[in-house]
Chains A and B, each alone.
Chain A
Amino acid sequence: MSAFSNPYDPDRKLGTTCACGKHASQVEHEAERAVPENLDASDPEVLLNRAIESAMVRALFPDDATRRRFLQAVGVNTAMAAIASVLPIGAMQALAQEKKPLEKKDLKVGFIPITCATPLIMADPLGFYRNEGLNVTLVKTAGWALIRDKMLNKEHDASHFLSPMPLAISMGLGSAVQAMKVATIQNVNGQAITLHLKHKDKRDPRQWKGFKFAVPFDYSMHNFLLRYYVAEHGLDPDTDIQIRVTPPPEMVANLRAGNIDGYLGPDPFNQRAVYDEIGFIHMLSKELWDGHPCCAFGVSDQFIKENPNTFSALYRAVLTAAAMAREARNRELIAQVISPANYLNQPVTVVEQVLTGKFADGLGNVMNVPDRADFDPFPWHSMAVWILTQMKRWGYVKGDVRYKDIAEKVFLVTDARKYMAELRMKAPGTSYKKFKVMGKQFDPAKPEAYLASFAIKKTA
């Protein structure tokens, strides 16, 4: 009997369960997985209750065959009543998910209308915030500078961030110093380099001298990845091309107007340029660094200290959403709920192409890249260290950088582990891992050596 099966079901077959253990047979398992609307499996409460009941009944009847005979003999209801009279199942359930009183129920969460924010947006229409007793107002915000200002102002309690932003704000770069924390990473991959259709024959970056590119913000993965990409092809991003900051929603309009030649931007605006027949997708960011973080869900240090229970509730809601968003079978449904004017304000088909990875590239081909966008909540310290090396590489920070200290102060790995465990999600054992960016190995233990290995850089 698996932890998730109904312990009171006398007819449940023993031994022959499915791969996930929640179904009587593999056939039943397939059937349920095929239904996209089945949200129950991702509802942590149902699973938690069921797991507790199972554990207790299993303790009472260690042998599955005995349990079955007992249930058949007295009937399920009698058995439930009998067991409930000796075992405090209800109390145990309440204890395991005891919700401490929330310090603050009405929250304002800022977001930029891009698919990176999928988990924190979908948590609203799908009711994950409500389930935690939170009344969250999602506030669509015009640009990253405003996101920063509204967080510093405390107008927003929590916010969608670009993952380098909390590092920058905590270090006081381009802002007043305020301790900001990355609670979870929102998404990995899911960005792309889009070029204007007139450049469809210039696929080699060496031909890009003099191009004007847009990125969403100075302190963004987009900026660092674009710089990295062109530098690997021998162009100095500061002198050979022009990089300007443009809010993502305005990128398509600027591309159409010819103000820029292309951008490394977040979706859905890459796909939107294709949809509007203005540009084509030159390269997905996944091809630069598969699994790179992009946006983050962040809060101020002060908010966590003043509202620890609210913070946990918010954290659980966003994690639950991230868990659901990871499943490919849910993606179409998610595209439906986040496309309306209240959230992304985009045609559903555009968002769907981004999330399912089956998309038109703008040059007449249909591509199929299921992991074009993914949602991995774990805030890797090693990724923070990489971001810091790039900030130093391009002169955003000067002097010695205490990579590990800053990364560990800002990226909240311990909390991520704790809440992921609560929701039965697998969190990795270490927070540092090596990874490859454009084929080049990055070792988080040796950031300075990594930095020194680049030919094009701004550091003296």
Chain B
Amino acid sequence: MTKKDFWGAAALSLLFFLILLASWHFSTLPTERISAANDEYARLMGQGAKKTEGLPTPAQIGETAWKHVTDPFYDHGSNDKGIGIQLAYSLARVGAGYLLAVLVAVPLGFVIGMSPLISRALNPFIQVLKPISPLAWMPIALYTIKDSSLSGVFVIFICSIWPMLINTAYGVASVRREWLDVARTLEVRPVRKALQIILPAAAPTILTGMRISMGIAWLVIVAAEMLVGGTGVGYFVWNEWNNLNLANVIFAILTIGLVGMILDFIIGRLQRLVTYVE
């Protein structure tokens, strides 16, 4: 990509953003209200007071965002914490579930990739378990694990394991035959073969799986926290939805998007480190 292309794309992005913002602004301009029968009724209906109704304007979102960004770590009790603290809770849950999934998926993927027999034996299980929605796991997790926070971690684990498992197995299975033959000729021991030949060869595929999994984990955490509640960005969205405060909900959505992008970017960088040209 040339420098000119880059600036062209950036300008176009900005233009799209401005068009979006402008149409949003004009479509959410406050409309004239029907005046109520009497003052008392109007007061009880909260008219005249600052009241959110319909979609908030971009300016309101900006105001809300500023409030959260300038005070991200407030703690007003167990059910009202700043967005920074909520993000930390969510990231910790995602981190735990994801790490667990990596620890299980990569070795298991190796075994499946290296043994066609095990691969065929486990395939039906993987195919059945893979498409299950995270929220479907929740009742079972709550009932058996008996801890709502751990259930959240479990749901992350069970949903983010499949892409890694399948990609690892695929990457391992498709290491070029010639390299393995060379290793056999040189009588390389199995452990060394796995670590020095197969792992580097399969690493790009494995990392692709990990990248997909991270995206899924971040998708799942919001849903899980909306259900389980207590802490996290998902809970934040749910709590503000209770109050029908859409400005806060939209701010939270933008934050979730940004954090998801950063996580993806980090793994994308890692992926570039292990990519090789044949």
Q: Give A contacts to B, CB under 8 Å.
A: 113, 124, 137-142, 146, 149-150, 152-155, 249-250, 252-253, 272, 274-277, 340-343, 345-347, 349-350, 353, 358-360, 364-366
- Cross-chain contact B148 with A138 (CB below 8 angstroms): no
Measured between C-beta atoms, what is the minimum distance from A257 to chain B in Å?
12
Given A140-B78, A153-B142, A250-B241; 19 other pairs, CB 8 A cutoff: A140-B229, A141-B230, A142-B226, A142-B228, A142-B229, A146-B142, A146-B148, A146-B227, A249-B241, A274-B45, A275-B46, A340-B80, A345-B240, A346-B242, A346-B243, A347-B49, A350-B46, A364-B41, A366-B40
Chain B residues within 8 Å of A155, by CB = 146-148
Number of interface residues of B (CB under 8 A): 34
A286–B176 Cα distance when bound, in Å, is 77
Contact at A139–B244, with CB atoms within 8 Å?
no
Instruction: Please measure, in the bound complex, the distance between the C-alpha atom of A295 and the C-alpha atom of B37, giving whole angstroms.
Output: 35
CA distance A141 to B36 in the complex (A): 36
Tell me the dominant secondary structure on chain A's binding face: mixed
| Contact among B51, B78, B142, B238 with A342 in the assembled complex (CB-CB below 8 Å) | B78
Across the interface, do A146 and B228 meet the contact criterion of CB distance under 8 Å? yes
Least Cβ–Cβ distance between B186 and chain A, in angstroms:
56
Residues of B within 8 A of A343 (CB): 79
Binding site for A on B (CB under 8 A): 36-38, 40-41, 43-46, 49, 51, 53, 76-80, 142-143, 146-148, 226-230, 238-244
CB neighbours (8 Å) of A154 from chain B are: 146
Is B229 a contact partner of A141 (Cβ separation < 8 A)? yes
Given contacts A138-B78, A140-B79, A146-B148, contact A275 B229 (CB under 8 A): no
In the assembly, what is the distance between CA of A113 and CA of B79, in Å? 11
Q: Which residues of B contact A146 (CB under 8 A)?
A: 142, 148, 227-229
- Secondary structure class of chain B's binding surface, majority of residues: loop
CB pair B147 A249 closer than 8 Å:
no
Q: Are A349 and B229 in contact (CB under 8 A)?
A: no
Does A253 contact B244, Cβ atoms closer than 8 Å? yes
19 pairs, CB–CB < 8 Å, chain A vs chain B:
A138-B77, A139-B79, A141-B230, A146-B142, A146-B148, A154-B146, A155-B148, A249-B238, A252-B244, A277-B53, A341-B79, A341-B80, A342-B77, A342-B79, A342-B80, A345-B80, A345-B243, A347-B49, A349-B43
Q: Which residues of B contact A353 (CB under 8 A)?
A: 44
Give chain A nearest CB distance to B141 CB in angstroms.
Answer: 10
Q: Which residue of A lies closest to B238 (CB)?
A: A142
C-alpha spacing A141/B226, complex, angstroms? 10
Pick from A138, A150, A277, A359: contact of B44, CB below 8 A. A359
Smallest Cβ-Cβ distance to B53: which chain A residue: A276
Cα A138 to Cα B229 with chains together (Å): 12
Query: Which among A140, A360, A365 is the interface contact of B230 at CB below 8 angstroms?
Result: A140
Whether B45 and A253, one on each chain, are in contact in the complex, defined by CB atoms closer than 8 angstroms, is no
| A365 and B78 contact, Cβ closer than 8 Å, known pairs A142-B227, A146-B229, A252-B244 | no
Q: Please, which residue of chain A has its CB at the minimum distance from the CB of B76? A: A342
What distance in Å separates the Cβ of B31 from its nearest Cβ neighbour in chain A? 12
Q: Would you give the shortest CB distance from A364 to chain B, in whole angstroms? A: 5
For B230, what are the chain A residues with a Cβ–Cβ distance below 8 Å? Answer: 139-141
In the complex, the answer to whether A113 meets B242 with C-beta atoms within 8 Å is yes
Interchain CB contact under 8 A, A140 and B239: yes
